[in-house]
Chain A
Amino acid sequence: MRITRVMSAALACVALAVAGCGGDDEESKSAKKVDPGAADKATGNVNWCIGKDTTGTFSKAVKEFSSKGQVKAKLIELPEAADQQRTQLVQRLRAKSSECDVLGMDVIWTAEFAAQDWLQDVSDVVAKRKDDFIPSTLETAKYEDKYWALPYNTNAGFVYYRTDQVKQPPDNWEDVYSEAEKGDGLVYQGARYEGLTVNFLELLYSAGGKALSDDGKTVEIDSPEAVEVLKFMADGVEQGAVPKANSTYKEEESRRAFESGKATFMRNWPYAYSLGKDSKIADDFDITTFPKFGEGEGAGVLGGYDVAISAYSKNPEGAAAFAEFLTSPDWQRTIMTEASLPSTLTATYDDPAVQKAFPFAEKLRTAVEQAQPRPVTPVYPQVSEAIFKTVHAALQGDMPPEEATKTMKSEIEKALQTF
């Protein structure tokens, strides 16, 4: 009896809490906006929540920033894997925790976090320095015509090829596959996870196709281009241009296969370049930006991290000052030379120190410039899941490409209708 009463009281509390949340947020629909001038006179403390500091530059940033001005920054390290970082941030933001002032966000989270009112509108801060950034990188911080973050580091993939097996860099994907079939094959990220979505979209974009319309409301993934790309990729697996093992590869597995000399081509991020220069194939490979596919133009998919200011930050001015420091020309040069993280500023790539550390700086800037963001929608995780699960099934030969693109379309449409 008493227990029933306790239980119903508990349920009532939950009901109130849920209803309460709904009420609160409905009223404050317009997001807080960061004033670009306020950062100059900021004081106090800010916490930066971002993934594990594997390169040591996150803690260095915090130290350097704190020694310079009035604001003291502190680093809060999240797990190393991006999906775990997201879980950690979502938990904090759902609880309206003010622990994190500046959020280190994978570029695919922007729409989702912005839609939930978890971020502050930084459009005015961006407007002030819009020309400094590589235009494509700003697209990752945009949702519904407003900017919700500053691009911290960007990323774009390359085709790695063996110079001892391939005479000149391929200028279309068809050549990559046919030469791979003759040689030792192409490896990429073919496991059933986010990486496969990226690999598929890179070819789709290069063929001139799209996943969603620009407003993010219509699904365009059942285009003839998509069917052609998927058929092309599936044939590649079936005819041996891509090894069977590729269906389990993530970035590291493909890098190891390429470095051990088992593949002629590899699709990977720039980080594999300097590591490859320490491997046994050090003198036998080079990289090139993504070639075109069919009638399209070479295009890539943007990776990297943006820095956003939490809606629950108690010190948005301090957070803005820190975010500006992180995207300043000086600091962007440092992350590029010391941590090999590609800068989001156009000018960084012309710096002699950067060009010395990155012999392929010019190619990298081109790769970033020609890259596009992944579909911008608050339900991106579901959209990506629909893509990588179906593409994986098609590449395993479990589903014909025409059926696969139709399945993707209906799954994504279902996802877009999510309440």
Chain B
Amino acid sequence: MEAATVARSRKRGSGLSERRLAAAMVSPSLIVIALVAAYPIGYAIWLSLHEYSVRVPGLSRWSGLKNYDTALSSTEFWEAFRNTFLFTGISVAIELVLGVAFALAMHRAFKGRAVLRATVLVPWAVLTFGSGLLWRSIFEPDLGFANSMLSALGLPGGEVVWLGQQGYAMAVMIFADVWKTAPFMALLILAGLQVIPDELYDAAKVDGASAWQRFIRITLPLLRPAILVALLFRTLDALRVFDLPFALTRGANGTNTLSLYAYEELTANRLVGLGSALSVLTFLIVMVVSFMYIRFVGGNIRGLADER
């Protein structure tokens, strides 16, 4: 009987301590998350509900949702919103197509594959701001490389002031982003390609499937999770784009983005409340988009598991 009690109490004791142990083990990471993520977000929200005087030192006042009202009723916000989504939509779409193509090329076994994989990644390793400055000097009017080359080859566009016109400036920004991040996309998709078993292709070949059918029926469906993860990463990054418009045009000629707009209000104009409201709005937009993606990705993975 004594032994039974001991056993029971140990059982109960171990049950409790297990839960406690779990809590204890999780708490450091929760605290770290609270410190590095929740605190700044909470602080930004707090700041966005206030106005901080640019005239009287240290003076601030509660302003409720006024900053949000100012932001949402300004034409600049909606212009930045449109530019950001235009940039994200086009650049991510192009990167996806190029990424799949690069990945397929890199996946094939051939001599020098390792060198190719390393080379393709070079643009991705360059600091975005640095590459932005590089593109700016390439697309500089008159003396820039782009215009001189186009004129020398007799191609149209030699007279275009690339960074000085609506539309063209956005095109350069998208081009610079694709150059830099298509390799990243390719790398993620390549990882997805490598887990597709060769037997599937062998079986399809035996059944007489053409290369195109094998790509459509085997490669693409099995690549879907990898593609969706890559899309998620790139989309979220693109929605927060800052360094490219900062380096290329400083937001002129239809390239102002949400992050750059928030930065200008926050640092140049020292409107701490409005700048924070803009950051919070950007954060919410990114959150909504990522929730949509995660639902999409999650559903898909489950769907794939069910099929098997």
CA distance A26 to B60 in the complex (A): 12
Flag whether B215 is at the interface (Cβ < 8 A).
no
Instruction: Fill in one digit per residue for B25-69: 1 if any A CB lies within 8 Å of its CB, else 0.
Output: 000001100100011001100100011111111111100000000
Q: Output the residue of B54, B140, B271 with the most chain A CB within 10 A.
A: B54
Interface residues of A in 278-308 (CB under 8 A from B): none
**Contact partners of B59 in chain A: CB under 8 A:** 22, 25-26, 419
Choose from B43, B51, B141, B268 the contact partner of A245 (Cβ within 8 Å).
B141
Q: How many residues on A have C-beta within 8 angstroms of the other chain's C-beta atoms? A: 42
Query: Is there contact, CB below 8 Å, between A18 and B271?
Result: no
Are A381 and B161 neighbours in the complex by a CB distance under 8 Å?
no
Query: Would you call A7 and B39 a contact (CB within 8 A)?
Result: yes
B143 at the interface (CB under 8 A from A): yes
Chain B residue contacts of A75, Cβ below 8 A = none
Please, which residues of chain B bring their CB within 8 A of the CB of A54? none
Task: Please tell me if the beta carbons of A244 and B164 are within 8 angstroms of each other in the complex.
Answer: yes
Contact with A along B145-185 (1 / 0, CB 8 A): 00000000000000001011110000000000000000000
Residue of A21, A192, A382 near B252 (CB, 8 A) is A192
- Please pick, from A90, A381, A419, the residue contacting B53 in the complex, using a CB distance under 8 A: A419
Contact A6 B268 (CB under 8 A): no
Interface contact A25-B142, CB-CB below 8 Å: no
Measured between alpha carbons, how far is A87 from B263 in the docked complex, in Å? 11
In-complex Cβ contact of B250 among A24, A193, A245, A247 (8 A): A193
Identify A117's interface contact among B42, B51, B57, B140, CB under 8 A: B57
A contacts with B: majority SS: helix
The reply to whether A115 and B42 form a contact with Cβ atoms under 8 Å apart is no
Q: Chain B interface secondary structure, helix, strand, loop or mixed? A: loop
Chain B residues near A115 (CB, 8 Å)?
A: 54-57
Question: Which residues of chain B are near A6, meaning CB under 8 Å?
Answer: 34
A103 touches B (CB below 8 Å): no
Question: Is there a chain B Cβ closer than 8 Å to A385's Cβ?
Answer: yes
Query: B269 interface residue, CB < 8 Å from A?
Result: yes
Among residues of A, the one whose C-beta sits closest to the C-beta of B70 is A414
Check B58–A24 contact: CB distance below 8 A.
Answer: yes
Judge whether A260 and B42 touch: CB under 8 Å: no
B26 to chain A, nearest CB (A): 12
Q: How far is the CA of A14 from the CA of B43 in the complex (A)?
A: 8
- B31: A residues at CB distance < 8 A: 3
A117 (CB) vs chain B CBs: closest residue: B57
Taking the closest CB of chain B, its distance from the CB of A407, in whole angstroms, is 11
B249-275 CB mask vs A (1 if < 8 Å, else 0) is 111110000000000100111110000
Residue A253 interfacial (CB < 8 Å): yes
Residue from the list A10, A112, A257 in contact with B39, Cβ < 8 A: A10
CA of A323 to CA of B176 in the docked complex: distance in angstroms?
Answer: 46
Q: Nearest Cβ distance between residue B150 and chain A, in whole angstroms?
A: 14
How near does chain A come to B244, taking the closest CB pair, in angstroms? Answer: 16
B55 CB contact (under 8 Å) in A18, A24, A192, A418: A418
* Cβ contact within 8 Å between A25 and B42: no
A192 in contact with B42 given A245-B141, A256-B143, A419-B55 (CB within 8 Å): no
B58 and A262 contacting across the interface, CB-CB below 8 Å? no
Say whether B54 contacts A3, CB under 8 Å: no
Whole-angstrom distance between the alpha carbons of A90 and B56 in the complex?
Answer: 15
A38 within 8 A of B: no
Q: In whole angstroms, how far apart are the Cα atoms of A118 and B59 in the complex?
A: 14
Establish whether residues A192 and B251, one from each chain, have CB atoms under 8 Å apart when the complex forms.
yes
CA distance A112 to B143 in the complex (A): 38
20 A-B pairs with C-beta separation under 8 A: A7-B39, A10-B42, A14-B43, A25-B57, A25-B58, A26-B59, A116-B54, A117-B57, A118-B57, A192-B249, A193-B250, A243-B141, A244-B165, A247-B253, A257-B142, A378-B54, A378-B55, A379-B269, A381-B268, A382-B269
Q: Known A-B contacts: A7-B42, A248-B161, A262-B142. Give 13 more (CB < 8 A).
A: A3-B30, A3-B31, A25-B57, A118-B57, A243-B142, A245-B164, A248-B140, A248-B141, A248-B164, A378-B55, A379-B55, A385-B269, A396-B166
A residues whose Cβ falls under 8 Å from a Cβ of B: 3, 6-7, 10-11, 14, 18, 21-22, 24-26, 83, 87, 90, 112, 115-118, 191-193, 243-245, 247-248, 253, 256-257, 260, 262, 378-379, 381-382, 385, 392, 396, 418-419
